[in-house]
Amino acid sequence: MSESTRPAERPHGSPNTRTAAVIPAAGRGVRLGPGAPKALRALNGTPMLVHAVRAMARSRAVSLVVVVAPPDGAAEVRILLDDSALPETTEVRVVPGGETRQESVRLGLAALPEDIGVVLVHDAARPLVPVETVDAVAAAVRDGAPAVVPALPLADTVKEVRPREGGEPELVVGTPERAVLRAVQTPQGFDRGALVEAHEKVALQGEGATDDAGMVERLGVPVVVVPGHEEAFKVTRPLDLVLAEAVLARRRATDGF
């Protein structure tokens, strides 16, 4: 890691820099089944992406949101967001995304203005994250942590497996101790320099980097955990849509929105 981005002793991004959220929303949603790109599919009549942008804009820490749209759909997304009721205090930029989540985040980072010191990376596919979680991640970075992830303990036992050839069933090769495992959510928060350096230097092969904190870890940067939230779950498969609509219905009944 270079001197300029080594975790500093001063709080990150302060005093004169702002916090931005980058929302990768360029995925196809293959696991959700046929249809529009996942971020544009509706939850209770409103596209998932609009829920996600509102979730970021609800945080007083966030003054800019960069949406990374499907590569051929940036103009459509711009119109969608212009037509949606979003807080006027939050600037929203839209850029086209890439082939992988990693590439899409990198393109979003490239669209940040210079005065952004703290970056939250948030999946469009986690549209219902509560503002308290967003605030907790942003505050932890501002207080000095160079990288922060919200996470929850696991309910299931996890096995490590080895695939076998010839259609043979996978073989279990280990059982990690569940008590020290965490399911990691977004937004993940970063000192901008550390995140940009990770995206410049750490390109993982194979499955690739499944989250941004994993790339920053490779630089030797410490990653701090704050409590995640059940409602920050990722909409991945069709059943997740049912759960998301149920959460929205409960919010409408209890909070009126």
Ligand X SMILES: Nc1ccn([C@@H]2O[C@H](COP(=O)(O)OP(=O)(O)OP(=O)(O)O)[C@@H](O)[C@H]2O)c(=O)n1
Residue ranges binding ligand X (CB under 6 A): 24-31, 38-39, 68, 97-101, 104, 123-125, 234, 236
Is residue 211 near ligand LQXTBERG by the rule CB under 6 A?
Answer: yes
**CA contacts within 13 A on the Cβ side of 118:** 30
Closest CB to ligand LQXTBERG among 8 and 224?
Answer: 224
Rule CB under 6 A: choose which of 12, 38, 51, 101 binds ligand LQXTBERG: 101
Token duo for residue 5: 């981005």
Closest CB to ligand X among 13 and 108?
Answer: 108
Give the per-residue contact string, 180-209, with ligand LQXTBERG (x = CB under 6 A; - = no).
----xxx-----------------------
Is residue 210 near ligand LQXTBERG by the rule CB under 6 A?
Answer: yes
Q: Are 214 and 195 in contact (CB under 8 A)?
A: no
Residue 184 contact partner, candidates ligand X, ligand LQXTBERG, none, CB within 5 to 8 A by sort of partner: ligand LQXTBERG
The sign of the dihedral angle between the CA atoms of 82, 196, 119, 125 is: positive
**Burial profile 218-253: b = 16 or more Cβ within 10 angstroms, e = fewer:** ebebebbeeebbebbbebbeeeebeebeebbeeeee
Rule CB under 6 A: choose which of 25, 77, 81, 123 binds ligand LQXTBERG: 123
Q: Are 133 and 52 in contact (CB under 8 A)?
A: no
What do you get for the CA distance between the two ends of the chain, in Å?
Answer: 44
Residue 178 beta carbon to ligand X: minimum distance, rounded to whole angstroms: 24
